Structure 1
Amino acid sequence: MTIEGHKGSPDIVIVTGMSGAGRSTAAKALEDLDWFVVDNLPPGLLATMADLGGRVREAVPRIAVVVDVRSRAFTSDLHSAIAELEARGVHPRVVFLEAADEELVRRFEAVRRPHPLQGDGRLVEGITQERELLREVRAEADLVIDTTGLNVHELRAKIVGFFGAHGGESGLRFTVVSFGYKYGLPVDADLVVDCRFLPNPHWVPELRPKNGRDAPVRDYVLSRHGAKEFLDSYAEVLRLLAEGYEREGKHYVTLAVGCTGGKHRSVAMAEQLAARLRDAGMDVQVTHRDLGRE
């Protein structure tokens, strides 16, 4: 994203989210991509940081600021800081990192550190309190990344995917994720498509060991009644949504495409939707979350 309304200001990304969800890893990845990273900045200083960056725009074109919930006035302070930046024509992106409670507990126990909000209580109580405090911030974030099950290298790859070669370009970016319903919905999805209205190739013996990227499975799925009609209709819906998202300043959209196991129908349909988005001029990346799982 370029800041068109205030050409003297740097591109600003705010990294926040649950403690233990990977904020430090995300910040390091951005730093390696030549972003100027400021850790643990009070939200009230965001405007000051933008001003300082604007004075040396050529030397510091991109700033990433990591903020967390240790300030009890965090939510109101962050909203006020973003509103102040917006009033100046500076449009920061908010990246929210989260993970399942069980995963956060495991990570804190592994490093033998207390949660910053648990006080004299239990670890899970601190996590619950933080999740509630961050509920509104998560709802308004530009990009939500679920790090459950991701190692540091996989999280770094996601950050590079979002902010690497395309990190300073304007426009809307789609991430299309195939998944299996039996493994749960992707919690970071903005839109969810259910492909279980199509016959399941799992029940065709010669197709069962293959997946939706293999031509026989792809051809089978696309030849079923309703598949092409759905792709044509939903591609038009996505086009209309994309126009609206861009008008509203949204930069990232995660489209989750599901079937029972995340191996056949969802993979084939995700690839087809991604291709149609690319044909419409969208920036798209595709990932198959559950491909390879038994």
Structure 2
Amino acid sequence: MRFVIVTGMSGAGKSTALKMLEDMGYFCVDNLPIAMFPGFVQMIQNSETSMKKVALGVDVRSGQDISGLEKDLEQMDEKEIKYEILFLDAKDSVLVKRYKETRRQHPLSGSGRVDTGIAKEREKTAFLKMKATYILDTSKMLTRELKIELEKIFVKGESFCNLYITVMSFGFKYGIPQDADLVFDVRFLPNPYYIDTLKEKTGNDPEVQDYVMQNDKGPIFLEKLKDMVEFLIPNYILEGKNQLVIAIGCTGGKHRSVTLANALYHTLETEESYGVRIEHRDIGKDSITKRK
């Protein structure tokens, strides 16, 4: 039997993950009171049960201090009962935004501010994150991307690393991404903006990609970038980093940065030891500005 405890920060996607696991054939229970946890574990351990895949949602809504779960998990370890912990996380700023959009109240904020509740929740769930088998940062994940990651882990049984990489193109004139870990400036490359036939196209178009990479500078830079990133990723993994944002910028975020971001993404997407996504933050802003 496979027993998965789904937990994490409120607003990080736990309920969505449980629904996805249910679609994948898991028997799912959400928001079980902590006092009932030992009895639930005993029930699913019963050899007569037909449940082979079980997912249990546990969080700070459980009606009792979640710290009581720590002792229960220690007892499971002593009895050598196998379990996995999926911890869903997101940046505080993202969680605050999600709560404001849904107009929901954080379970620990009371009548106070959402960020105060988030801080309390991080403190209460820290032991679960430390014991987590898998940590998924959903700050930049789309719903379909979360589903892909869950299928890799719980359906296909692929090896998993907690690191999730976002390769992002951007325009310097719109500001450097605040959450970027690594920032690269490709404004030294030839600019398609000044070519009439390429001006309205983007780095997603082959003609622009060919123009940007037609000289030695583009391919050489890409090789050096790939070499550095491939060196850094294993070291970030060893450090325990679970979210890496690689930002590549040009003037407007439409041609050169998009070309190089796509090229780097296609290099990284073949790896199975981490998740990766592509985001072109400013690719359409040039046309919006012109319309104004």
TM-score (norm 2): 0.67
If you compute each CA radius of gyration, which structure gives the higher value, 1 or 2? 2
CA deviations over 1:5-35 (Å, ceiling 9, x no partner): xxxx41414133225x544333223222222
Query: Aligned residue for 2:7?
Result: 15
Is the contact made by 1:85 and 1:91 (CA closer than 8 Å) also made in structure 2?
no
Helix, strand or coil at the partner of 1:26: helix
Query: Aligned residue for 1:205?
Result: 194
Is the contact made by 1:177 and 1:289 (CA closer than 8 Å) also made in structure 2?
no
Query: Aligned residue for 1:236?
Result: 231
Change (3 A) 1:116 1:283: closer
Deviation at 1:38, TM superposition (A): 1.1
Equivalent of residue 222 in structure 2, options 215, 224, 227: 227
Is 1:77 aligned with 2:68? yes
Deviation at 1:266, TM superposition (A): 5.2
**What pairs with 1:122-133 in structure 2 (closer than 5 Å)?**
122=112, 125=113, 127-133=114-120
The residue type equivalent to 1:91 in the other structure is: E
The residue type equivalent to 1:226 in the other structure is: F
Helix, strand or coil at the partner of 2:21: helix
Helix, strand or coil at the partner of 1:230: helix
Query: Aligned residue for 1:66?
Result: 57
Deviation at 1:131, TM superposition (A): 0.7
Is the contact made by 1:271 and 1:286 (CA closer than 8 Å) also made in structure 2?
no
**What pairs with 1:1-294 in structure 2 (closer than 5 Å)?**
9-19=1-11, 22-43=13-34, 45-46=36-37, 48-55=39-46, 59-70=50-61, 71=63, 73-74=65-66, 76-85=67-76, 88=80, 89-96=82-89, 99-108=94-103, 114-119=105-110, 121-122=111-112, 125=113, 127-136=114-123, 137=125, 140=130, 142-146=135-139, 154-155=142-143, 157-164=144-151, 166-168=153-155, 169-173=157-161, 175-179=164-168, 180=170, 182=175, 184-186=177-179, 192-196=181-185, 199=188, 204-206=193-195, 209-219=200-210, 220=212, 223-224=217-218, 226-239=221-234, 241=236, 244=238, 253-260=242-249, 263-264=254-255, 267-277=258-268, 282=273, 284-288=275-279, 290=281, 292-294=283-285
Is the contact made by 1:198 and 1:227 (CA closer than 8 Å) also made in structure 2?
no
Change (3 A) 1:143 1:208: farther
Helix, strand or coil at the partner of 1:194: strand
Over aligned residues, Cα RMSD in angstroms? 4.0
**Aligned counterparts of 1:31 and 1:65: Cα–Cα separation in 2:** 11
**Aligned counterparts of 2:207 and 2:76: Cα–Cα separation in 1:** 52
Is the contact made by 1:211 and 1:264 (CA closer than 8 Å) also made in structure 2?
yes
**Aligned counterparts of 1:263 and 1:78: Cα–Cα separation in 2:** 50
Deviation at 1:132, TM superposition (A): 0.6
Is the contact made by 2:6 and 2:18 (CA closer than 8 Å) also made in structure 1?
no
Give the aligned length: 260
Is the contact made by 2:191 and 2:256 (CA closer than 8 Å) also made in structure 1?
no
**Aligned counterparts of 2:200 and 2:49: Cα–Cα separation in 1:** 54
**Aligned counterparts of 2:166 and 2:116: Cα–Cα separation in 1:** 30
Query: Aligned residue for 2:290?
Result: none
Change (3 A) 1:213 1:80: farther
Is the contact made by 2:27 and 2:53 (CA closer than 8 Å) also made in structure 1?
yes
Is the contact made by 2:208 and 2:255 (CA closer than 8 Å) also made in structure 1?
yes
